[in-house]
Structure 1
């Protein structure tokens, strides 16, 4: 096995290497590719909605002591599994059944490895291999990395054989169709197809492919599922906002399938999504290494190679920046007239600048489709107030004491 494959390349690798890899992978997140994923998003979203149907019929969560209420962890788990299915399908072209079963423990492995990566983010000494080997986490890390390694290797090898076969067949057809011309055909590739193409050109190794594939699946599934779970919590505690969004959904959708046009036409959905990301940012802090000396203020110099942390969570809740509703769930923050006069660098759910998240549109499209699928059919309430919640901050924001947070799900 190679290095630890859960490495979060877009978070931790040095500047130049990151720039090169970003340039290589940018084409896989173009709009045409993302639009082609909507049938997949719809199909998996329907399966997720079916899970909520079970909850609406009064299937009490085994961890809950409250009749007719569902523990937060149950909803979070359903969403996490659905997003992981979508991530495998769209990035790797692989169909999985994680919403119904996890016989091999893949879902659990990704959860545990993400937790370990979170611990490393606020205990940086654990990023030193000799020290990490002495910690209790090391054996757990090795065990689950080996499991994910086998899972990803199997998919990559199978997809590589199929890709090579299709490549030869397509090349033969292209030679026939374009003989005597210099105009190449336009090719649309998903993530796994694109990195096979990069490997064919000598830009990536097979180990690079396995590392990037696993990291991409984990990064996509963790960030989307976490933001969607937190947003449902916001809406469950604000029934007026939930009702207003459901009205917009009912007025916009004409058929069973959600299109990109539907998503773009739902302006209140956009406001709600942004407000959820503001109040409970999936990535609560941004880690950066300073590449050159710069002036933070006139007489304050931040020297080269300084490690800095940008506190997204508290920037998003600063009353000086956001006004009297800074700590409330208040979608009106994102009315056009309010957003127009605001400094764009006080809203950082996907970062800003060169390291702006490569998958931001993917994340928003998938989260919005799943949210619409749920709220089109179900009403959700909770027993908690947002101001009473406490959070655990690591790579991603987590609710503390989840066992005390419950939902009631009812059919609309």
Structure 2
């Protein structure tokens, strides 16, 4: 009896395996066009993703061994890994590659279903409805917030002058979160207990770490495994506390409408979303999900990019001095000053530094799409429906074939006009590009520029940490294995 049962199990496994191979014959055809590691039957390369921290190294190995377009398997699902600018353009501009990959499923549970993870055509509808929140006129209205909050940051940093090397990232994140809530939600949260005691920041950091872990390590999507690894409690509590925080801000905005009070920031993202709610287009759930996503995205990428720019300039002091001289020309006196939009446009070298920072340390190292229909790449290769496509921005930005022999070093001159003229338009995509590009990229750049201008005019930054010792870890937004400590000296 036991022997017969064993035979039956073996037959079922063989039948399933044959079905598995036959149902994916279209994907195997791609192997003749794009090489790559098959991994093991049924699990593919999933066994290589048992923990976070090795994916970028793994992708670097695949690029070296197989080239810039690689096919592999994540469990039973085919995955195309791309670090080629032309294939990237084909994917990001295709109407059949608008949907995010299944890998982002955890985002719906963690933050809510909104612009970040919605599928088309609902995504297109929401994007059109929310685009006005990032129009040029609205951006100018947020400039006073950028100036005011970055000045508060300058005052906080002033207490740390000549105090030795310190980790400045917590202060940068706190400032960026304050900017994000005021500019997107239209209200200050400075008196909120969770903001004042910095527990809100702890919740955001925990949630981001969990999202990255669950996305990169598919095994952690199983609740019991999360519990075994001690991730579940942190994840659920952080998710709950952040949603309560956002829900309270939304409730206060809706109550203001009922009482007839005019919101402090009438052009905020939340104000626009509430308008759609009052017209019956959005639900209360839509408002909270979209608001949660906007705050999360706005503060995390901005704070990290400011911190990385300061870190790189501390490691390359000659570049820092060039930025300082440019800013000093516009603002001869240190201390408190306000940066206008016109003055921001005149900081040309600071633009180069910001771009080089985002090239070398891409804010979002990897993005993923799923094909909703068959489509053709510009080189004639047929990509079937259901393909998972990972765009490896991190390594594309560091490709020596694109950026030259010093591609992995910091050199703002990479972005001088004559050095860009022969570059593919999709070789540099810090905010992605194409149909589903970042809705707030202009907001992000202006916020970065104002903050960096004030910090670099008032302080000289230095560090003992060596550039060649930096180690990068994949995350929702990229992080460093070890954060360099920075020393501040006051500028005159």
Question: Which bracket does the TM-score occupy, shorter chain normalised?
Answer: 0.7 to 0.9
Indicate whether 1:217 and 2:217 are aligned. no
Q: Is the 8 A contact 1:315 1:346 kept in 2?
A: yes
**Which residue is equivalent to 2:175?**
82
**Which residue is equivalent to 2:480?**
399
Q: Is the 8 A contact 2:186 2:266 kept in 1?
A: no
How much has 1:142 moved relative to structure 2? 1.5
Equivalent residue for 1:303, pick from 384, 391, 394: 384
Give the SS at the match of 1:310.
Answer: strand
Residues 135/197 of structure 1: CA separation in 2 closer, same or farther (3 Å cut): farther
Residues 292/285 of structure 1: CA separation in 2 closer, same or farther (3 Å cut): same
Residues 135/305 of structure 1: CA separation in 2 closer, same or farther (3 Å cut): farther
- Residues 355-400 of structure 1: CA deviation (Å, up to 9, x unaligned): 1100001111111111111001000011122222111112111010
Residues 294/349 of structure 1: CA separation in 2 closer, same or farther (3 Å cut): same
Give the SS at the match of 2:489.
Answer: strand
**Which residue is equivalent to 1:93?**
186
Alpha-carbon distance between aligned partners in 2 of 1:147 and 1:121, rounded to the nearest angstrom: 21
Give the SS at the match of 2:109.
Answer: coil
- Residues 35-62 of structure 1: CA deviation (Å, up to 9, x unaligned): 111111111001111122111142xxxx
Equivalent residue for 1:272, pick from 353, 356, 366: 353
**Which residue is equivalent to 2:329?**
251
How much has 1:275 moved relative to structure 2? 0.6
How much has 1:345 moved relative to structure 2? 0.4
Once the two structures are superposed, the pairs formed by residues 291-370 of structure 1 within 5 Å of their partners are 291-296=372-377, 298=379, 300-370=381-451
Give the SS at the match of 1:396.
Answer: coil
Equivalent residue for 1:153, pick from 234, 241, 247: 247
Alpha-carbon distance between aligned partners in 1 of 2:443 and 2:202, rounded to the nearest angstrom: 23
Equivalent residue for 2:125, pick from 4, 7, 20: 20
More deviation in 38-47 or 10-19? Answer: 10-19
Alpha-carbon distance between aligned partners in 1 of 2:326 and 2:192, rounded to the nearest angstrom: 28
Indicate whether 1:197 and 2:275 are aligned. yes
- Residues 215-269 of structure 1: CA deviation (Å, up to 9, x unaligned): 1101111111111111111111010000000000011236811011111111111
How much has 1:77 moved relative to structure 2? 0.6
Q: Is the 8 A contact 2:172 2:307 kept in 1?
A: yes
**Which residue is equivalent to 1:116?**
210
**Which residue is equivalent to 1:69?**
165
TM-score (norm 1): 0.86
Structure 1: gaps spanning 5 or more residues:
59-67, 171-186
Alpha-carbon distance between aligned partners in 1 of 2:379 and 2:297, rounded to the nearest angstrom: 38
- Residues 170-203 of structure 1: CA deviation (Å, up to 9, x unaligned): 9xxxxxxxxxxxxxxxx96210110000001111
How much has 1:328 moved relative to structure 2? 1.0
Q: Is the 8 A contact 1:271 1:332 kept in 2?
A: yes
Q: Is the 8 A contact 1:109 1:147 kept in 2?
A: yes
Residues 290/131 of structure 1: CA separation in 2 closer, same or farther (3 Å cut): farther
Give the SS at the match of 1:308.
Answer: strand
Indicate whether 1:138 and 2:232 are aligned. yes
Alpha-carbon distance between aligned partners in 2 of 1:396 and 1:260, rounded to the nearest angstrom: 27
Give the SS at the match of 1:409.
Answer: strand
Alpha-carbon distance between aligned partners in 2 of 1:268 and 1:225, rounded to the nearest angstrom: 20
More deviation in 296-305 or 391-400? Answer: 296-305
Q: Is the 8 A contact 1:78 1:99 kept in 2?
A: no
Alpha-carbon distance between aligned partners in 2 of 1:55 and 1:26, rounded to the nearest angstrom: 40
RMSD over aligned CA atoms reads 2.4
Give the SS at the match of 1:353.
Answer: coil
Alpha-carbon distance between aligned partners in 1 of 2:155 and 2:343, rounded to the nearest angstrom: 22
Give the SS at the match of 1:56.
Answer: coil
Indicate whether 1:234 and 2:328 are aligned. no
For these two proteins, the number of residue pairs brought into alignment is 379
Alpha-carbon distance between aligned partners in 2 of 1:298 and 1:280, rounded to the nearest angstrom: 29
How much has 1:102 moved relative to structure 2? 3.2
Alpha-carbon distance between aligned partners in 1 of 2:456 and 2:486, rounded to the nearest angstrom: 14
Alpha-carbon distance between aligned partners in 2 of 1:261 and 1:298, rounded to the nearest angstrom: 43
